[in-house]
Every structure is written in structure tokens, then in C-alpha cells.
A and B are shown apart, each in its own frame.
Chain A
Amino acid sequence: MIGFVAWRLLQAIPLLIGVSLIGFGLMQLAPGGPLAVYTLNPTIQVQDIERIKVIFGLDQPVYVQYVKWASGLFSGNWGYTFFGGRPVLDVILERVPATLLLMGSALSVAIVLGLSIGVLGAVKRYSVFDVLATTGALFALSFPTFWFGLMAIFVFAIQLRWLPSGGMWELGDEGNILALLEHLVLPTLVLALVITATWSRYSRSAFLEVMQQDFMRTARAKGVPPAARLLRHAFPNAAKPLIALLGVELPFLFSGALVTETIFGWPGMGRLFVDALNMKEYPVLMGMMMFTAIFVVLGNLLADIAIAAIDPRVRLR
């Protein structure tokens, strides 16, 4: 097992290098750049833009820029942002707590809810509950998140005034946990909507498959009560694709959810990424991609370990 983990971590090194190379390359190849933002400023003339280009180091050949950035990485210097000259690591890390809170809550709620709905739907296939749950899930997937977000704000914040309509803290009262929770409710629910729908469909299908199999009929014949049948017999067998799904979704804990964060003004990573993408803030984009890579490696590693743990027949290579 230790050997397995060590082998996987070893594989992670060329992966990270590859991601950094490809990411850097793609970024440079993509049209547009950080200088465009200055054009809309009426006092700027082309010679100013040229001057700024040199200051940002963008006049140098691409490989020089890459080497400069990569060599800084190993000494802990992830570079400075173009606009504002702040250390990239600071800019990224200050958003982590907010992101973890929102994504963590949403994922937890969604997985629990999604699993429950999926299992219930599988047990009572094509019952009224199942058809309603299916319709609901597909409805949730067919409308963009911003629509649900705006509806939620309109209904709960503006009309009913039950909950605040955005932001993370009560301004001036930042230590108030209750207020923080109030602010957390709507974005979590809106975000959890899509994830719940996805999980309910996958778990319904996984459980359906498992429940038709012979060993389940054997368990029923043996007189094992339904709850135990579900938990001890069905679940471990159905879990594998779900664990793989979780492994894929784990990096979202870090990368956040752009649309939800935008609608609710939640200061998370998703917004940081898209702002950086819009302004072509290369240092931040690269920094975030490297972080995401770490989470991806971790997520898939944990998923593979979990799958092997549940099913002894699956061997870890």
C-alpha cells in the first residue's frame, strides 16, 4: 500500500511538470492578453502600452518567461500579479477558506441528499416519487445556475426578506458566526442543486444494477432486513462508480463554482479564476492551475485507494 502511494506520488511529478508546460503554452497561445485592459482607458496611448509590456516582461520570448516563472516556483516564489504587484500565493490563499466553506457545505449536502433520493428511487422504481425525483433532477440540470440563483435571491431575500442576498459576512460584524451561516444558506442550496441532481441519477442507476443481482435475492431469501440489505450488501457494490465520481469532484473543493459565487458575491476561487482569465492575469492563472493539479492527483489517488478498500478483488497496482 505504501508502495502504491509512493508510486503514484512519483507519477505526480511528471504530471505537474506537464500541466505547467501545457498550461503555460495554452495561455500564451490564447488570443488577447493582459494589456487589453489598458486600451479602454482614454488617457492611454500605444507607447504607454508598449512600456507596460516591457515592465510585465511580456516582450520576452515565451520559453524565457516560462523558465523565469518555473524557477521561482521551487523557491516558493509564485510570482507577483501584473495588476497590483501582489504575491500570487497570497492572492490565492486568501480565497481558500471561503471556497472550502461553500464547496464543502454544498458537496456534503448534495451527496447526502443525492444518494438518498437515488436510493429511494431505485428501491421504488417508477413510483410517483421516482418519476417526480427524476423530473426534478432533470429540471435542475436544464436551467443554468444563474437562473436558480437569481430566483432564490428574488424570492428569499427581496420578497420574503428571510435571508441576506449576498456576500459572506455581515459587514462590520465579521465575527458573527450566525450571520455567516445565514449568508451561507442560499449559495449552498443553489450550488447543491446541480450536484444533487447528478448524484441522484448516478446512485439510482448504480443501486438499480446492484439490486437486481443474485446475491441480493439471496440476502432477501436469507431474511436480512431491508436496511441492512442496502447498507451491507448493496452499498459496497454500488459504491465504486460513485467513489470515482467523488474523486473527480474533489478538485472542485478548491476551484470553486464561478456562477454561484458571482451571483451571490461570494469571495471564492471560482471568481478569482474567471477575473484572472478575463484580465489575462497569467501569474494567477498558472498558480491556480498548479494548485488544482495537486488536488486532482490527491482526489484520484484517494478514490483509487477507497475502491480497493471496499472491494478486495480489485488489486492495487
Chain B
Amino acid sequence: MSATAALPESQGGRVWARFRRHRLALAGAFVVALLMASALFAPAFAPQDPTLLDTALRFRPPFAEWAHPLGTDELGRDTLSRLLYGGRVSLTVGLVAMVTTVATGALIGITAGFLGGWIDMLLMRFVDTMLCFPQVFLLLVVAAFVPPTLLSISLIIGLSSWMEVSRIVRAEILHLKEQDFVAAARALGASRRRIMFRELLPNAAAPILVAATLKVASAVLMESYISYLGYGVQPPLASWGNMLTNAQGYFDTVPWLAILPGAAITLTVMGFNFLGDGLRDALDPRLRMDP
């Protein structure tokens, strides 16, 4: 598309056009879409039932035979099938938890940072209180009361790790709110809500997007930790996290059992990362591709 071609008229259209030019972002979006599709259509792609065990066939290496293209695990279950079905669990947890964390943290951070005063004090002391309880502790306690569905696990993980996001966003807002464009918006009579969400939020997008990427990875790994402790996904269901945990004893003899799920997580996180980069660049016209 030549630089002299006319830009689309709507803001949404302009954002999309900017996004499209960002190659890595497109690649990221593609990867994320691919992962979601494979999880959604797992039954179609999986060679066999992921819980079917046959110890005679265990520890087969990847690329050795057609029946098990990515090899088998310590109980003879097909790794590819487990990766696909496990993706359903891990991607759901990663996404829902990330959205919960980011939304909660951003909301609290923006409100506290912009409105200041008593609201800021109360909210920040609330954040302090939550920070006093180690994440593991919160997870274990709450998970014991809530029936362990995938959604509830994701929400619980999401609601136990937003504190860092809120503090970072608040710091960003404190910096932004003294700037001219905010004063201008106020002078124009914009409501507080409009200033918070139409003016400040897009400008604070950068750290929020970084947090989102990091939280996807940490949510997936946290899910495996609470499964290890007995909540969350129960065996023999697979998730990328618990595949990693089970591979712990074999890291030097059968390394691919850990490398494969880890690579899946890495791919997911990288996809989200570049997607986020593209989003940020598209939303903020001041950031150009060249430094």
C-alpha cells in the first residue's frame, strides 16, 4: 500500500490500517489464532484419546512413528493429543486470568491514580492488604470453596495477581495526569469518566500490554502449580502446566517431555506479545516504527 494512498476515514479503520502494516504483530495474531483453533478443534486433530495409557509404548521420542508424531509420555499417552487437549485448558486459563488481572488492575490503578484523595488511599491500602497474602495461600484457600471448573480456576488466578498491575498503572497515571492533554480535556468540560477511559487509558496502554503478556505466562504456570497441589485440573486430564510438572523427574533422560509443553507456552506468550506490540503501536500514532 503506497504511502500516498488515502487513509480510511474512521478512527477504527485507521487503527486497523496501522496494525496491518506491523508484520510481527500480524505474525503474532496468526499464531494466537492458530493456537486457539487447534484447541477448539482438538478432537479433530488429536490422534487418540489423551488419557489412553499403554505403558508398553512409553517414552517414545517425537518424529519416530506416525501413530505418535510427537512421542509418548511416562505412561504411554500420546503427547500430541495431550498438547492439543491441554491447550484447551491452558489457553482458557491464560486468557481468562489475564483479562481478569489486567481489567481489575487497570481499573483500580486508573481510578486511584486519577481521582486521588480518599479513594486513592482506600484503594491502595486495599492493594497493600491483598499483597500481604502470598498468591499460593490465596489460591489454596479460595480454590477449596469454589467448585473447580476451568472458569473458576481462571478467575481465581486472575484475581490473585492484579496488584502489581494496579500499582504500575497508577504510577503511569500519576505521571500522565499532569500533562497538557489532560488539562485541555478538563478545560473542554470532559467528564471524569471520559478523561479516565478515553484519554488516559489509551496513553497508559504500554505497561498494561506488557503486563498482559507476562500474566498469560504466569497464569498458565500458576495453574500447573495449583493442580500439583490438588486443585484445578485433576489427573488424568492434561494441561501444559501439569505436563511440565510430570516431566520433572525426566528432564535429563527424556527432555522433550518438558520442552514440548514449554515450547507451546512460549509460542503462546510470544504470539500475545507481538500482538500486543502491534496493538499499542496502532493505538498510539506518536510511536513510529523507526526510532
Contact = CB atoms under 8 A, between A and B. Distances in A.
Interface stretch (A21-29, A56-64, A182-190): A21-29
A142 B217 contact: yes
Interface residues of A, number: 67
B78 interface: no
Nearest to B272: A138
A102 interface: no
Contact of B168 (A18, A245, A300): A245
Interface stretch (B54-62, B122-130, B150-158, B187-195): B122-130
Contact of A247 (B24, B167, B269): B167
Contacts of A244: 167-168, 170-171
B116 A317 contact: yes
A139 B287 CA distance: 26
Given A142-B262, A205-B209, A251-B131, A147 B248 contact: yes
Given A141-B269, A144-B224, A317 B132 contact: no
Nearest to B224: A144
A313 interface: yes
Contact of B144 (A31, A147, A206, A248): A31
Contact of B214 (A198, A240, A303): A198
Given A138-B217, A206-B207, A212-B288, A22 B129 contact: yes
Contact of B136 (A22, A134, A147, A277): A277
Contacts of A126: 24, 289
Given A202-B207, A255-B134, A311 B262 contact: no
Name A's interface SS.
Answer: helix
A274 B163 contact: no
Contacts, number: 163
Name B's interface SS.
Answer: helix
Contacts of B128: 15, 293, 296-297, 300
B213 A201 contact: yes
Interface in B130-153: 131-134, 136-138, 140-141, 144-145
A124 interface: yes
Contact of B167 (A30, A248, A289): A248
Contacts of A139: 266
Interface string A242-257: 0111011001000100
B65 interface: no
Interface string A129-157: 00000110011011110110011001000
Nearest to B179: A313
Given A143-B266, A255-B134, 8 more contacts: A138-B266, A147-B262, A206-B206, A241-B168, A277-B136, A285-B137, A296-B132, A314-B175
Interface of A: 11, 14-15, 18-19, 22-23, 26-27, 29-31, 123-126, 134-135, 138-139, 141-144, 146-147, 150-151, 154, 198, 201-202, 204-206, 208-209, 211-213, 237, 240-241, 243-245, 247-248, 251, 255, 258, 273-274, 277, 285, 289, 292-293, 296-297, 300, 303, 307, 311, 313-314, 317
